[in-house]
Amino acid sequence: MRLLLAAGADPGRASGQDGGDLPLCGAACGGHTEVVRALLAAGAAADQEEEFGFTALAWALRLGHADTARALLEHGADPDRPGPDGLRPLVAAARRGSAACVRALLDHGAGFREEALREARRWIGADIAAELRRGLVAGHEGGQTYEAVVRRVQEDGGITVVVELLREDGAPGRGDDRGTGHAAIATLLEAALGGAPARGARGAGAALRRPGARRLDDGVGRADGPGRRGDLRGGGGWCADRDPLRRALGARVLGALPGFGASAVPVLRRLAAEAVPRRGSRCSRR
């Protein structure tokens, strides 16, 4: 891409005779952050709109590509510009279940936080696979076979649920996917709105402030009583924190909660995926 741009390729030229697809949007769809940065550096407009009203940021947020979204925001993409479906970026990121996308938007001053919080809360504890399948079946055009395949894949530091409807010959047809970070997102948005932290977050904060807080066993059971919805949101929020100690304590809080396994497990899986050191990283060489 950089060679093509250096040779004079137009970073904003749409493909096709009807001028439909933009290079920046195509790169954002695939989560190719370095290609996005190269296009932006060569003069591509961060908010250039392609056919049907999509921008690169709208694509990145709906597909959960947080690094790509952050690159676009750093180059001036509007954090409040509605997508083609009318959803504001923060609401779209909350629906997607990507805590990293939500954090990137909040870091760049995105508004409509109350709407985003309501959207995140709507998905906490939901059976995402069942909801996605229901939506696919409702929009299925023709055919009577609705057998579905569900996969759970690790990407962008979390777990993404992928549902595909199968055609009559067994080949995959329509599909949809969604992240599972809605509990962490709710806590991030509650903090951004200046509201009182969830019960679990208050208990965790108290544990961290006490002498000897490095011993994570201290205070884990004191998050205002295990098994409450506030603990689920609070623990999920700590798992999304930048501080490694808070993430570790959040994992302990969620791991101790009875009755919320379906909601806590995706957050813990995302945290475990983030904790695995990549080859060549500083952690892996120690």
3-state class (DSSP) for residue 278: coil
Give the chain's domain count: 2
- Containing 160, the helix (H) or strand (E) segment is strand 158-166
Write down which residue in 105, 123, 141 finishes a domain.
Answer: 123
Residue 238: its pLDDT value, please?
63
From 74, 101, 123, give the residue that closes a domain.
Answer: 123
What CATH number is given to the structural domain containing 94? Answer: 1.25.40.20
Residue 11 inside a domain? The answer is: no
The C-alpha atoms of residue 60 and residue 71 are separated, in whole angstroms, by 10
What single DSSP character describes residue 16? T
Residue 138 covered by a domain: no
Say if residue 118 is in the same domain as residue 26: yes
- Would 16 be classed as within a structural domain? no
pLDDT for 244: 66
Classify residue 139: in a domain, yes or no: no
The total of other beta-carbon atoms located within 10 Å of residue 192's CB is 17
Q: Is 166 helix (H, G, I), strand (E, B) or coil?
A: strand
Same domain, 204 and 114: no
> Is residue 25 included in any domain, yes or no?
yes
- The domain boundary residue, chosen from 99, 123, 147: 123
The residue range of the domain holding 106 is 21-123
pTM over 0.85: no
Could you read off the pLDDT tens digit of each residue along the chain, which spans 286 residues? 899 999 999 999 988 766 578 999 999 999 999 999 999 999 999 999 988 889 999 999 999 999 999 999 999 999 999 998 899 999 999 999 999 999 999 999 999 999 999 999 999 888 999 989 888 888 765 545 568 889 988 866 678 899 988 877 777 778 889 998 898 899 899 999 986 444 444 444 444 444 443 333 333 333 333 334 444 555 556 666 666 666 666 666 666 555 555 556 666 666 666 665 544 443 333 3
Q: Which sign does the torsion angle of CA 107, 114, 48, 179 carry?
A: positive
Beta pairing, strands 172-179 & 158-166: antiparallel
**Predicted pLDDT of residue 144:** 52
Asked if residue 211 is part of any domain, the answer here is yes
Residue 258 in any domain: the answer is yes
Which among 280, 270, 208, 213 is positioned nearest to 236, based on CA atoms?
A: 270
Residue 113 within a domain: yes
